Amino acid sequence: MNFTCSTAVEATDGILWFAADNGLVRIDPVTVAIDTTPPPLAIRSIVTPARSYLPSPGIRLPKGTSSLNIQYGATTLSEPERIRYRYRLEGIDRQWRDVGDARTAAYTRLGPGNYRFRVIGANPDGIWGSSGATLQFSIVPMFYQTGWFALLVVLAAATMVWALFRIRVRQVAARLQRLHDERLDERLQIAHELHDTLLQGFLSASMQLHVEANTAPPGSPSRSGLERILGLMQRVTDEARDTLRGMRSSSPAQTYLDAAFSSVAREFASASTARFRLNVRGQRRPLQPMLRDEVYRIGREAITNAFRHAEASLVEVEVAYLTDELVVVVRDDGRGIERDVLRVGREGHWGLSGMRQRAQKIGARWSIEPAARCGTEVVLGVPGRIAYVDADSASGFMGWLRSVGRPKGARDGEKS
């Protein structure tokens, strides 16, 4: 009967002796070398639910690919089962995945784009390589995953919001126009009633006073008193006529201020030798109805004062439809206005204070100063956001889009 016996002994010098069936084996631990060479690696294939692909530079996976497996491994035959692996997919993995001896990397929920897969390995002695194997691939996007499709969606949504906004603006503008028309009807009714009652009463009283004044002896105190009263009543009657004329003149048909101001100037054509000139800058734009009425009243008061009190040879009105502001300027070359009158106004006259209060009510800037050469200049500036019906849509991308192709003269030209 044969017996097999193997033993191991460590000698005093540290050398290990092994007794084997074929003899003795001697190992010196000091002289055993550590393998510092990392294992060579290779990526073998990319497997998707549809098919398998051999690795190639810049491989493109079909549309709709969202999950895949990447198979890799070492190309050495020396103890391949002891090799350890780490991998990462750039853009997906923030750090390396340590997967032991697993030779497959699985990914799901991938989107379209470019990817770079890297894998490194460690040999049986634990030495990791730094380069390993690399594979770059891309996933082709579906049509709804492209940038131009997202841009079209954004543009469509913006267009829809803009269309809804424009509809809302038209509804608000129509409501304001109805309110303005109702207000104008009320004013016209009041004007008719004042004309038929109060003003006619003043005229009747004036006629009777004229008769009494004519019958009084010339130079008598009673005649002087009656003539003083007649002058006062004439001034009150003229101011009442101006007020009634202003209440009637804001016609809805006069949509633009230049047409309304021209009508005011025509009222003084027969009573004044002053010339009238009107300049319009920019493209005419519709105004908020109630605000348009207030701007008209301020401009009318300034024009009336220029014709009646300035003794001017030229009255000039400028209406500027600027992008961010509506500006109305009324200037004359007359005798100007005293500083005290500018500060406190004329006693018994409310024109300047009325213009100032109307400007404050609509949130506009208003000033009255001596003109550059001579005369007086009245300036009214209304912010475009509250003046124009299309204030919001006229700015930004949609406003620029509508202006494309419009002749430059129509945008920036000046009309006289």
State the sign of the Cα–Cα–Cα–Cα dihedral 209, 210, 215, 216.
Answer: positive
pLDDT in tens, 341-386: 666 555 545 578 888 888 998 889 999 888 777 889 999 999 998 8
Predicted pLDDT of residue 354: 82
| φ/ψ bin of 375: left (φ > 0), alpha (ψ from -120 to 50), beta (otherwise) | left
Predicted pLDDT of residue 375: 86
Q: And the tokens for 160?
A: 């829809």
Instruction: Please return the burial class of 94, using the count of CB atoms within 10 Å of its CB with bins 0-12, 13-18 and 19+.
Output: exposed
Half-sphere exposure of 100 (CA within 13 A, CB side): 2
Low-confidence stretches of the chain (pLDDT < 70) are 1-6, 30-33, 191-192, 195-196, 199, 235-236, 238-255, 339-350, 391-416
Going from N- to C-terminal start, the domains of the chain cover 1-32, 41-143, 146-249, 254-416
User: Is 326:310 a contact under the CB 8 Å cutoff?
Assistant: no
Q: Which CATH architecture has domain 41-143?
A: Sandwich (2.60)
Q: What amino acid occupies position 401?
A: L
Topology classification of domain 254-416: Heat Shock Protein 90 (3.30.565)
Of 73, 65, 62, 108, nearest to 89 by C-alpha is 108
Instruction: Please return the burial class of 182, using the count of CB atoms within 10 Å of its CB with bins 0-12, 13-18 and 19+.
Output: exposed
Predicted pLDDT of residue 353: 80
Average pLDDT, the chain: 80
